Structure 1
Amino acid sequence: MVNKIQKDIIPILATKLREILKQVDTKILRVTEEVRLRINQPLILNLNNGEAILTERGKITSNPKQAYQITQRDLKDTMNLMTQNSLYALEEELRQGYLTLEGGHRVGFVGRVITNSEKIELIKEFTGLNIRIAKEVIGAADSVIKKIIKNKDMIYNTLIISPPQCGKTTLLRDLTRQLSNGLPSIDLSGLKIGVVDERGEIGGNYQGIAQNQLGIRTDILANCPKSEGMLLLIRSMSPEVIVTDEIGSHKDVQAILEAINAGVKIIASVHGSDLAEIKRRPALKGLLNQKLFRRFIILSRRSGPGTVEKILGENKERIRGRRRIG
């Protein structure tokens, strides 16, 4: 994590911000998950166990008045460095509210929104940035992967249930990598996998190339709506498994049903804390009542990011108790 911040993040920050982060203790950088920049507000690092408000000398303070205050120039210079001074060449990313950096890191931004017929056309006059540090953890799925494998040629339809920032994308990514490459130790053949990466976080695509390892038999549709992407993959790439992140809409559900009816297995994630909460959502209730998902992996941060609270079968039977992934 320290190397990623030093190599990928610090060089694309405004000069003053670079100077500050270079002085931060490496123990803090090692557990940094986000760098938060808000105009006229303190420079804050979100950590896996709290936050660090930074002074001008890179020290941690509990008093926001002693912190370094982000200026409009800091934000403007940082955006110019991130976009190589071609801000408006990235119009689609600006419309979506985020962009992906080399290394797979993702930057979300807020500011004045320009709308047209209730749709977002552009975000400009930026007031805040959230730099999320990519966390590829090779082996993150080691403790759960055997629980979703049906036999040497196939897996169970699997739903990962997780609150934000509890490691669901990290787990999805490593499940994809291992299933795509195959696992000779348990006689699992490599599977053809199609990834619909609507938010660009699974593959971390930068200039069209995935920055994360997703396996040798994996095809990726980046920045594509999930419902359309699943059907496109079925028509064009003959996947055995489709992987996608954060399902929730009626269109997502319909595409999942069509994929399953076509004989394709699904690994997906959804925001939530437990299965009961997910079943209360109108779009997902019908899908879950059909018992098409045979495995449910519930994550939390109880013992740190990536804590597997439990793995349940189709009848809610517990397959495994708490353990931390990665």
Structure 2
Amino acid sequence: MEAAKLYKYLPAGITWLIERLPPDIQGHINEIRLRRNGVLSVSLPEQNLVIQSGKGAYICTDRDIDETVAYISRSSMYAFDGAVRNGYIPLPDGGRAGICGDAVCENGAIRTFGSISSVCLRVPRLVKGYASDLASYFALHGLVGALVFAPPGAGKTTYLKSAISLLSENRRVAVADERYELSCASHCMADICSGCPKATAVELLTRTMSPQIIVCDEISSAEAPAVLAAQNSGCILIASCHGRDIKQIMQRDFVKQMVEKGVFSVAVRLYNDDGYKSELTEL
């Protein structure tokens, strides 16, 4: 089960409680959430499940949080200073731990956290066939830009990892992986630039790796100039964004601009209907 990959970052007592859950629940865990002096819970596709101990809901102690932070940071928060300022710590093999708490700010920006009150461990998954609809479309119609959208936690990163794995079998694929979430090195032949802003990574990859496809997650207006430049070089983009439907995402000026300029020709809506599902639409 994919959630078991995260148990090494948890205190033994918390791991024991989660391992007691029925297998069908363990198999659908998307996130494990710890809150200092608050409830321990797991995120499932359609609900947040509070983890129970023998005395009711399990309440995370100071030691639980501190021990988890030590595990995910490999006992060196300073080594992840840049990521911590953005509220996460990258984990090996495409995992990520979101963090929040008592922020220390400087000039209106977060410099670090004086204390961490919540940790959210996201379960990394590779569902290889998830993006088969997009691969099939490319096989029939050729390469075009694709925008993948869904509400938060609905599988966008999982879909992108599937696309990277499938498409790198016969295309030159490069990945702008700002937050270390798209790594699938043991499953694909993509070239990955991690840990720097997406716009910088897109520019570098376009210039140095001659990709046919660049993949990145959670695109914003900040990446628009770099993406347009990459398009002019003949490279297509597969990116993700938050959204419920096409009407909503098209209300964002930068998305509308990219569609009008031909950066995105198809949109892929993700949803969970007793499993990973997707729906591809031409724009």
Same fold by TM-score, threshold 0.5 exceeded? yes
Report the 3-state secondary structure (helix = DSSP H, G, I; strand = E; otherwise coil) of the residue aligned with 1:199: coil
Letter of the 1:11 counterpart: K
Relative to 1, partners in 2 of residues 1:237 and 1:103: Cα closer, same or farther, differing over 3 Å?
closer
Q: How far does the alpha carbon of each residue in 1:163-200 deviate from its partner, in whole angstroms, 9 at most, with x for none?
A: 2122222111111211111xxxxxxxx21111101122
Q: Which of 155, 166, 171 is matched with 1:167 structurally?
A: 155
Residue number in structure 2 paired with 1:272: 243
Letter of the 2:257 counterpart: G
Asked if 1:78 corresponds to 2:68, the answer is: yes
Relative to 1, partners in 2 of residues 1:119 and 1:68: Cα closer, same or farther, differing over 3 Å?
same
Partner Cα distance (2:32, 2:277) in 1: 23
Unpaired runs of 5+ residues, structure 2, are none
Letter of the 1:306 counterpart: Y
Asked if 1:297 corresponds to 2:277, the answer is: no
Residue number in structure 2 paired with 1:111: 101
> What is the CA-CA distance between 1:125 and the residue it aligns to?
0.5
Residue number in structure 2 paired with 1:306: 276
Asked if 1:237 corresponds to 2:217, the answer is: no
Give the RMSD, CA atoms, in angstroms.
Answer: 2.0
Residue number in structure 2 paired with 1:28: 25
Partner Cα distance (1:238, 1:169) in 2: 24
Q: Which of 9, 28, 52 is matched with 2:49 structurally?
A: 52
Residue number in structure 1 paired with 2:59: 69
Tell me how many residue pairs correspond in the alignment.
Answer: 283
> Rg: which structure is higher?
1
Letter of the 1:56 counterpart: S
Asked if 1:19 corresponds to 2:7, the answer is: no
Relative to 1, partners in 2 of residues 1:144 and 1:261: Cα closer, same or farther, differing over 3 Å?
closer
Structure with bigger helix share is 2
Q: How far does the alpha carbon of each residue in 1:213-244 deviate from its partner, in whole angstroms, 9 at most, with x for none?
A: 2x22x110112211111111111111111111
Contact 1:200 1:223 in 2 (8 A): yes
Asked if 1:281 corresponds to 2:252, the answer is: yes
Report the 3-state secondary structure (helix = DSSP H, G, I; strand = E; otherwise coil) of the residue aligned with 1:143: helix
Letter of the 1:163 counterpart: P
> What is the CA-CA distance between 1:257 and the residue it aligns to?
1.0
Report the 3-state secondary structure (helix = DSSP H, G, I; strand = E; otherwise coil) of the residue aligned with 1:106: strand
Unpaired runs of 5+ residues, structure 1, are 58-64, 182-189, 204-209, 315-326
> What aligned pairs does 1:113-152 form with structure 2 within 5 A after superposition?
113-149=103-139
> What is the CA-CA distance between 1:15 and the residue it aligns to?
3.5
Relative to 1, partners in 2 of residues 1:247 and 1:53: Cα closer, same or farther, differing over 3 Å?
same
Q: How far does the alpha carbon of each residue in 1:1-30 deviate from its partner, in whole angstroms, 9 at most, with x for none?
A: 2xx333x32232123323322333323211
Contact 1:112 1:123 in 2 (8 A): yes
Partner Cα distance (2:115, 2:3) in 1: 26
Report the 3-state secondary structure (helix = DSSP H, G, I; strand = E; otherwise coil) of the residue aligned with 2:206: helix
Partner Cα distance (1:194, 1:90) in 2: 24
Report the 3-state secondary structure (helix = DSSP H, G, I; strand = E; otherwise coil) of the residue aligned with 1:28: helix
Residue number in structure 1 paired with 2:175: 195
Q: How far does the alpha carbon of each residue in 1:14-67 deviate from its partner, in whole angstroms, 9 at most, with x for none?
A: 23323322333323211111111111211111112322212224xxxxxxx820
Q: Percent identity of the aligned residues?
A: 29
Q: How far does the alpha carbon of each residue in 1:279-324 deviate from its partner, in whole angstroms, 9 at most, with x for none?
A: 21122222222344222112223x145322x32223xxxxxxxxxx
Letter of the 1:17 counterpart: I
Partner Cα distance (2:186, 2:109) in 1: 31
Contact 1:148 1:158 in 2 (8 A): no
Relative to the length of structure 1, the TM-score reads 0.80
> After the TM superposition, which segments of 4 or more aligned residues of structure 1 sit over 6 Å from their partners?
none
Report the 3-state secondary structure (helix = DSSP H, G, I; strand = E; otherwise coil) of the residue aligned with 1:140: helix
Letter of the 1:311 counterpart: L
Q: How far does the alpha carbon of each residue in 1:249-268 deviate from its partner, in whole angstroms, 9 at most, with x for none?
A: 1x311111111111111111
> What is the CA-CA distance between 1:90 and the residue it aligns to?
2.5
Residue number in structure 2 paired with 1:324: none
Partner Cα distance (1:156, 1:149) in 2: 11
Partner Cα distance (1:103, 1:230) in 2: 21
Letter of the 1:165 counterpart: G
> What is the CA-CA distance between 1:103 and the residue it aligns to?
4.0
Partner Cα distance (1:84, 1:90) in 2: 10
> What is the CA-CA distance between 1:150 and the residue it aligns to?
5.2
> What is the CA-CA distance between 1:211 and the residue it aligns to?
5.4
Partner Cα distance (1:55, 1:167) in 2: 27
Q: How far does the alpha carbon of each residue in 1:103-122 deviate from its partner, in whole angstroms, 9 at most, with x for none?
A: 43211011111222222211
Partner Cα distance (2:7, 2:166) in 1: 31
